[in-house]
Structure 1
Amino acid sequence: MNLMQDMTPAHAASVDKDWWRGAVIYQIYPRSFQDSNGDGIGDLSGIIHRLDHIARLGVDAIWISPFFRSPMLDFGYDVSDYRDVDPMFGSLGDFDALIKRAHDLGLKVLIDLVISHTSDQHAWFQESRQSRDNARADWYVWADAKPDGTPPNNWLSIFGGSAWEWDGERMQYYLHNFLSEQPDLNLHNPDVQDALLDVVRFWLERGVDGFRLDTINFYFHDKELRDNPALAPEARNATIAPEVNPYNWQDHLYDKNQPENLEFLRRFRAVMDEFDAVAVGEVGDAQYGLEIQAEYTSGGDKVQMCYSFEFLSGVSPTAERVGEVLTRYEGAIGDGWACWAFSNHDVVRHASRWALSEAAQRAYAALLLSLRGSACLYQGEELGLTEAYVPFEHLQDPYGIRFWPKFKGRDGCRTPMPWVTDNANGGFTEGKPWLPVAVEHLSHSVSAQEGKADSVLAFYRRMIRFRTSEPALAKGDFTLLTAADGILSFTRQHAGRTVLCIFNLSDSPRDIDMPDGDWTPLAAPFDGTLQTLGPWQALYAAQESSDG
């Protein structure tokens, strides 16, 4: 009997409550992972069927994007019932089976919790819009029109247009930071907070190990509804559709990032601590992401981890750029903790976004898995998948449909996983897939790479295993040494052992200068020497301190 596998999640976490610190988390986008019933849409049973693949990677946890009941206008990020599984994904029984199978494989399970807004089909909103004096009248953000009938202020929706939608029932506007069918909850109301924390308890009691918190910095708005100031054109550096979306023309001082969020996160953490659960928050902000990330993870009384979008952007990650981000991060983070990612369901896959060769993909994978912080891998990243082209007539993403053709939306990173090569749908479904399977992905399928020592998949497995074997890479301190001329180097220190990490982030050989000390090369997934690094190569070496 494997004792660890038979423990309850709470008991298992008590062995190492800091398991998340340095963990590798694998993101599953359930619509596109594996279909089990032939309807062309991935589901929970499909995830169960493919969990062995994830376990073989050596990751610590999975994060499952939303599977709650939803009209699916934003593909699950518009929740109509927080306590049930949408029938297209299965049932609560299927979810219970998924939890058990994942835990049997040694995988923690994090689920995507969307609590800044709901669907307009949620019972709470349906009641709230009926009148200005019902029991849930103040559960959403309602405001009167200006005397001329225009919206209360200049706030904009990320998906385009005003963030305010007129409602003829209440004769008021309601706030929506995303689609007009995604009204924002009013977390200034303590009853709303209590209801959301009850949702948290519902899933923790069901056995989840924690949450990914969607748009964690959007929970509160400015009570005075003050206008956002303009943002200077040179400061417009948003990750998603910066050129075409006027949302990026504002300095978002008042529609998000409010100080009241800190106390709510403390309440949230208190509930999680009852279950030894963890959370990673998504900080959606182009200007203040690293600083918010530090604030929300500081002090041990809010969330454990956050990620922002510095490495999810299109800015080329040269050695100098990476060094700049890491310097700013280390200066801000204090006792907080980051969760780094290069790809996810919201951005162009980084193999395409940064125009990376397979060799470059390996180098950046090694970098990601060597940074101080935890790491998120997005499904297909371990296969070296590129962004898929989805023609307009097949687009599903409302964001892409709105801003086509300058911005093609997020469907290109959400196409189905290719499991086998000799099947038009890559083994994802026996029906018609909800998004087309990219033909170019078939040659990168799991079956095509399985058993090949030189494949991208094999590299990810080796690199994750190497990270696990070196506690300094998962939990150690960080010191930046060099970030110039294609060379990025830093050390990670833990328990008297220092691991040196040097990366050649260029397509030319580079001589390297070793820091002083007696360095022993490590058996890492690269072939670097102590003098020269080839293009897109890395070197790892270690030394023990005299008091280690």
Structure 2
Amino acid sequence: MTETVSGGATSPTRAADADWWRGAVIYQIYPRSFQDTDGDGVGDLKGIAGRLDHIASLGVDAIWISPFFKSPMKDFGYDVSDYCAVDPLFGTLEDFDHLIAEAHARNIKVTIDQVLSHTSDQHAWFKESRSSKTNAKADWFVWADAKPDGTPPNNWLSIFGGSAWEWDTTRCQYYLHNFLTTQPDINFHSMAAQDALLDSVEFWLKRGVDGFRLDTVNFYVHSQGLEDNPPSKPEDRNSPEAPAVNPYNWQDHIHDKSQPENLEFLKRLRALLDRYPGQTTVGEIGDGPRSLKTMAAYTAGGDKLHMCYTFDFLSPIFTKEHFVNRIKAFEAIVGDGWPCWAFSNHDIVRHVSRWTTDGDYDGVARIAAGILLSLRGSVCLYQGEELGLTEADIAYEDLQDPYGIRFWPEYKGRDGCRTPMVWESNGAHAGFSSAKPWLPVPQEHIARAVNRETADRSSVLAHYRQMIAFRKTHPALRDGSIAFVDSPDGVLAFLREQGGEKILCAFNLAGSGVRFALPAGLKVAALDGHGFAASLDTAGRIVTLGGRDAFFGKIA
């Protein structure tokens, strides 16, 4: 049985597997950098459709496509000027419909980015809102009068630097922008604005999408009192949400985001999605030390978001203790909520570079993949992660990211993780485009091109394929319980259990070898290497792990 969507595509009945997202592996695509087909140096929707066989070969359950909507591209698509149109840079609505059909034909779900907290200042809604204080959309954005001395209404800061308020000469008021000045924040206290946003979400539901990644989901609602934020604690100022040179983290953001009224909007959003069975949502939460509590509130009860991810593993910390502490905190705080873990994305230095201190990039890539694909929860992989790509060092003259340009040289921005995907080691621009790409292809990435790694059974790519297949064939790894096991320093060890299946996963994060005697009562009946070299004694009680080695043992 199939259902027809308004764009003309068909997809399997979504209700058949409403919980497909639980434990799923989702592959993030940054469309500007994935595959260019029209020779303008920028990736497009046809390029994604043309590379679906590579994605299918990984064995992932879904793709997440970063914004491709109409936009002036001041923040590369995260500044939307029309929620229901494809930007010509990426193609057409027909191209999107074709992409949906091709993905579904390969049993790949399609989720898309929804940037609901703000628009572009070129969006028709904002143009009308700024035209006067009395127009029909006057309250669709966050407007406020200046203080008597002409300064902004309060001390709120923009993540991209400076005040979060911009003066508008037409209304003679300030408007709120948590990001660029060209990204005005929508006023979620306006029910009419909420209704319009939900209509735009339903537009894509009708075209057959399977879910949404919700950008900055805890930024939707602000305090109407516009109170000043207090200073943050010094120990809370080091966060992946903003670089150390950015004073954004010097504030405790208790008034400009994560307001309780947001829960009511999320319930409205979930009610809409529940009319289209088989949909999912994953929310991005950046809330400093409160991120897990916010995640719990947003995912509890089954009437808001399906899952969220935080910045817990997007930091430079790569230790046993950090993994144990954050996962235990999640399990204790979030309750019946569901996590979606990621080590890299389009905003953060690639984890292979963040976590490698001795040049063993492949070793870190393999051990990180083993950990990520063994965790309880769903998983997001970022394009190129499966190749072990490192962070690119982009020269200042090649920078595109306004965030990096603003804070150069102490912070180089997000371009280093957004360079083009490398497909062919001997092709023009690594097979990404026939023209000069919008960002340069790093020379060191070419040796890791898909064609080379596909031909190498010991490659990082081969390892990802093995690990994803292993996860999919073991229910305990996909959505079983997790319990930590006492282990030597530097060894992360936990049990995953589902029904009668129990798997012990152990990872030596250090570069040197170690012997691991299993705690009393545990005995490994069989060892599954998956590219790792760990060995087991004949009694099934002592495991020898090399540097950055791992094992997956079936418990007797």
What interval of TM-score do these two structures reach, taking the shorter chain for normalisation?
A: over 0.9
CA contact (8 A) 1:24 1:61 kept: yes
Separation (CA, whole Å) in 2 of partners of 1:517 and 1:505? 22
Is residue 2:95 matched to residue 1:94?
A: yes
Structure 1 residue aligned with 2:310: 308
The aligned counterpart of 1:495 is 499
- Counterparts of 1:500 and 1:12, CA distance in 2: 36
Show the counterpart of 1:320. Answer: 321
SS of the equivalent of 1:511 reads strand
Structure 2 residue 42 is matched with structure 1 residue 41: yes
Partner of 1:503: helix, strand, or coil?
A: strand
Q: 1:114 offset after TM fit, Å?
A: 0.2
Distance of 2:368 and 2:97 partners within structure 1 = 36
Q: Distance in 2 between matches of 1:101 and 1:338?
A: 28
Could you list the per-position Cα deviations for residues 167-216 of structure 1 after superposition, in whole angstroms to 9, with x for gaps in the alignment? Answer: 01001000000000000000111111111111111000000001000000
Task: Give the equivalent residue in structure 1 for 2:539.
Answer: none
Q: Aligned letter for 1:254?
A: H
Q: Does 2:432 align with 1:428?
A: yes
Alpha-carbon offset, residue 16 of structure 1: 2.1
Match of 1:221 in 2: 222
SS of alignment partner, residue 264 of structure 2? helix
Tell me, in whole angstroms, the C-alpha distance in 2 between the residues paired with 1:241 and 1:151.
22
Name 1:15's counterpart in structure 2: 16
- AA aligned opposite 2:82: D
1:161 equivalent to 2:165? Answer: no
Q: How far apart, in 1, do the equivalents of 2:117 and 2:10 lie?
A: 27
Residue of 408, 413, 424 corresponding to 2:412: 408
Q: Please name the residue that 1:262 is paired with.
A: 263
The answer to whether the 8 A contact 2:243-2:411 is kept is no
SS in 2 for 1:371: coil
Equivalent residues in 2 for 1:96-115, closer than 5 Å: 96-115=97-116
CA positional deviation for 1:27: 0.2
Does the alignment pair 1:520 with 2:525?
yes
Q: Does 1:387 align with 2:391?
A: yes
Who is 2:297 aligned against?
Answer: 295
Deviations 1:151-170 (A, max 9, x none): 00000000000000000100
Listed one character per residue, the Cα deviations across residues 308-331 of structure 1 (whole Å, up to 9, x for unaligned) are: 0010112x2111111111111111
Residues 238 and 244 of structure 2 are in contact (CA less than 8 Å); yes or no, is this contact kept in structure 1? no
Mapped to 2, the partners of 1:9 and 1:278 lie a distance apart of 18
Change (3 A) 1:299 1:393: same
- Is contact 2:159-2:242 (8 Å) kept? no
Q: Is the 8 A contact 2:3 2:12 kept in 1?
A: no
Q: Aligned pair in 2 of structure 1 residues 352, 119: CA closer, same or farther (>3 Å)?
A: same
Match of 1:440 among 437, 441, 444: 444
* RMSD of equivalent CA atoms: 1.6
Determine the structure 1 residue equivalent to 2:548: 536
Which amino acid counterpart does residue 542 of structure 1 have in structure 2?
K
Cα deviation, 1:480-536, whole Å, max 9, x if unaligned, reads: 123651111111111121111111111111111223144322434023223211111
The alpha-carbon deviation at position 11 of structure 1 amounts to 4.9
Q: Which runs of 5+ in 2 are unaligned?
A: 537-541
Aligned residues: 541
Q: Which residue of 2 aligns with 1:279?
A: 281
Partners of 2:57 and 2:465 within 8 A in 1: yes
TM-score, normalised to structure 2's length? 0.95
> What amino acid maps onto 2:157 in structure 1?
L
1:435 positional shift: 0.5
8 Å CA contact 2:292, 2:310 repeated in 1 = yes
Q: After the TM superposition, which of the residue ranges 519-528 and 82-91 deviates more from structure 2?
A: 519-528
Tell me which residue corresponds to 2:235: 234
Larger deviation, residues 4-13 vs 483-492: 4-13
Cα distance in 2 for partners of 1:138, 1:5 equals 38
Paired with 1:503 and 1:301, the residues of 2 have a C-alpha distance of: 36
C-alpha separation between the residues in 2 aligned to 1:5 and 1:82? Answer: 24
Q: Is the 8 A contact 1:239 1:286 kept in 2?
A: no
CA shift for structure 1 position 127: 0.2
TM-superposed CA distance for 1:424, in Å, is 4.3
Q: Any idea what SS the aligned residue of 1:274 has?
A: coil
Distance 2:192 2:472 in 1: 43
Q: Distance in 1 between matches of 2:214 and 2:199?
A: 15
Partners of 1:396 and 1:451 in 2: CA distance: 34
SS at structure 1 position matched to 2:467? helix
Residue in 1 that maps onto 2:209: 208
The structure 1 segments of at least 4 consecutive aligned residues displaced by more than 4 Å after TM superposition are 3-11
Q: CA deviation at 1:241?
A: 4.2
Post-superposition CA distance 1:393-429 (Å, at most 9, x none)? 1100000000000000000000000001113410000
Provide the C-alpha distance between the structure 2 equivalents of 1:30 and 1:357, rounded to a whole number of angstroms: 25
Matches within 5 A, 1:56-67: 56-67=57-68
What SS class does the counterpart of residue 426 from structure 1 fall into?
Answer: helix
Q: Does structure 2 conserve the Cα–Cα contact (< 8 Å) formed by 1:237 and 1:287?
A: no
Q: Write the distance in 1 (CA, Å) between the matches of 2:120 and 2:42.
A: 21
Following superposition, the deviation at residue 93 of structure 1 comes to 0.2
Native 8 Å contact 1:282 1:306 kept in 2: yes
Distance 2:241 2:153 in 1: 26
Shift of 1:285: 2.1
